[in-house]
Chain A
Amino acid sequence: GDSVTQMEGPVTLSEEAFLTINCTYTATGYPSLFWYVQYPGEGLQLLLKATKADDKGSNKGFEATYRKETTSFHLEKGSVQVSDSAVYFCALSNQGGSEKLVFGKGTKLTVNP
């Protein structure tokens, strides 16, 4: 079945450091790929998405590129802030949004001032 593997956390960085969270996937078709962010005690917020190969999703300084050849969707940010501290989930869906999301295990990011 479909699956998502993302790097184990927790990740601790200093403010303004570069962030990479790796995500790879296994899927039978051509899924849409997502990054969601979860702040403490809250639900999930969509951070960015990409629906086809070579698409780049971006939002709030975060970027991820849909790499079909490596089945990857790594999340990057050039300069993290304390407010970026949260848990980040990589996910896929085979129908964009109308079918279930398959999530990775999540990566907790802590950014220290």
Chain B
Amino acid sequence: GAVVSQHPSWVICKSGTSVKIECRSLDFQATTMFWYRQFPKQSLMLMATSNEGSKATYEQGVEKDKFLINHASLTLSTLTVTSAHPEDSSFYICSAWGRGNSNQPQHFGDGTRLSIL
């Protein structure tokens, strides 16, 4: 079945560092990718939606200059957390959806646990 690979799975870094998270669709063309954030014991909140070749659409309250999203190809989207601070520590999950079958659901990556010291 469809597989979405997310990397890295765990990152720990110092405050002020920028961190890049990759999301790849391995066996289908992902025309749309979604980035979610999950706080401990809470649900997933959509941060942004990105379509290949166009600018991401951010949800209300999400800082687009803080969370840079690039979707340059049909198999890769990246989320860069710029100048990360401890409050950015969270579990980030991407999902991907491919054009061609409107009934197919999104496929999720395994998530990235980001810890800012």
Contacts and interface: CB of A to CB of B under 8 A. Distances in A.
A45 interface: yes
A95 interface: yes
Interface residues of A, number: 25
B103 A96 contact: yes
6 A-B pairs with the lowest CB-CB distances in the bound complex, closest first: A43-B110, A44-B108, A97-B105, A43-B108, A43-B111, A105-B43
Contacts of A44: 44, 93, 95, 108
Interface string B73-117: 000000000000000000001010101001111111111010000
A99 B34 CA distance: 9
Contacts of A32: 103, 105
Which residue among B43, B46, B102 has the maximum number of chain A CB atoms within 10 Å of its CB? Answer: B43
Interface of B: 6, 31-32, 34, 41-44, 46, 49, 93, 95, 97, 99, 102-111, 113
A32 B46 CA distance: 17
A100 B46 contact: yes
B106 A101 contact: yes
Interface in A26-70: 32, 34, 36, 41-46, 49, 51
Interface in A52-96: 89, 93, 95-96
A103 B93 contact: no
Contacts of B105: 32, 34, 46, 49, 93, 96-97
11 contacts: A32-B103, A34-B105, A41-B113, A45-B108, A46-B107, A93-B106, A96-B102, A96-B105, A101-B34, A101-B44, A105-B42
